[in-house]
Homo-oligomer: A and B are copies of this chain.
Amino acid sequence: MKESVIIERVKEKKLRNGILITGLPGIGLIGQVVGRYMVEEVKAKRIARLLSPHFPHQVFMTKNGGMRLIRNSFFIHRGKKRDVLFLVGDIQAMSSVGQYEVAGVVMNYAKKMGVKEILTVGGYSTGKISEERRIFAVTTSEELKTRFKKLGVIFGEARGSIVGAAGLFPAIGQINGINGSCIMGETHGGYVDTASARQIVLLLSKYVDIPINIKRLDQKAAESQKVLKKVQEDIKRNMENQFETTTSAVSSYIR
């Protein structure tokens, strides 16, 4: 296998007013959590997998003694108004050359499947924990911007650069005549942020008009919130201890 390939499991008819939603690992794992949760909740149908020599040369062992390559998977959901093609997976390509190649392969497949819009999900790392979990975005289209703004998404505040597929897909999509956006959940950056993922699931549920039961994710978010609170308290306590230690160390030094 010399090139990244998409291997179709089942042939599917073209999407109606198709949107590609990608949820791959990245900052705070927000993309991956969002993608997997939506795919599970809407019971989307697995239709293809993406393999790449730019993914690690590893297979996972499954609990029943099976094995599978590290991969990305495409799922399809036929909605009332529009159809969604989900791309979720274990990993992103490990090099710049690999990222560009995978983006090209995905764009070709998206075109073939009738995708008219690209929506990638990622995290926007602020280094602190925000209660609000705002949603930032950038887009290649003024029309898309208007639509997202109506749903409370913030444009023009996130700055800097987006690394990986979340940025590359809409940008390469535009060259291929498909507009797109990157939707980023505000997050600390240092841990899996289910609470931020939850906000984005709610947004996408409205945006693509698919009812999604958020309960399971709420539970997860509550659990991870508890873990987080504990972590924060530990950090605080450690910092105080450290301060004390430092103080006593200093005092013993200046003694």
Contact = CB atoms under 8 A, between A and B. Distances in A.
Contacts of A139: 65-67
A156 B94 contact: no
A101 B61 contact: no
A88 B171 CA distance: 20
Interface string A198-239: 000000000000000000000000000000000000000000
A10 interface: no
User: Chain B CB within 10 Å — which of A51, A138, A158 has the most?
Assistant: A138
**Copies of the polypeptide in the assembly:** 4
B164 A67 contact: no
Nearest to A66: B138
A104 B68 CA distance: 16
Contacts of A55: 96
Interface in A163-196: 163-164, 167-168, 170-172, 175, 182
Contacts of A140: 66-67
B1 A104 contact: yes
A75 interface: no
Q: How large is the interface on A (under 10, 10 to 19, 20 to 34, 35 or more residues)?
A: 35 or more
Given A55-B96, A56-B96, A100-B53, A161 B69 contact: no
A62 B60 CA distance: 39
A67 B170 contact: yes
Q: A interface, by DSSP: helix, strand, loop or mixed?
A: mixed
B63 A159 contact: yes
A127 interface: no
A97 interface: yes
Contact of A161 (B61, B64, B164): B61
11 contacts: A54-B96, A54-B97, A56-B96, A58-B161, A58-B163, A58-B167, A59-B138, A64-B155, A65-B137, A67-B140, A67-B170
Interface of A: 1-3, 7, 51-70, 93-94, 96-97, 99-101, 103-104, 137-140, 145, 155-156, 158-164, 167-168, 170-172, 175, 182
Given A1-B103, A67-B139, A67-B182, 6 more contacts: A58-B161, A58-B163, A59-B138, A60-B160, A61-B159, A63-B159
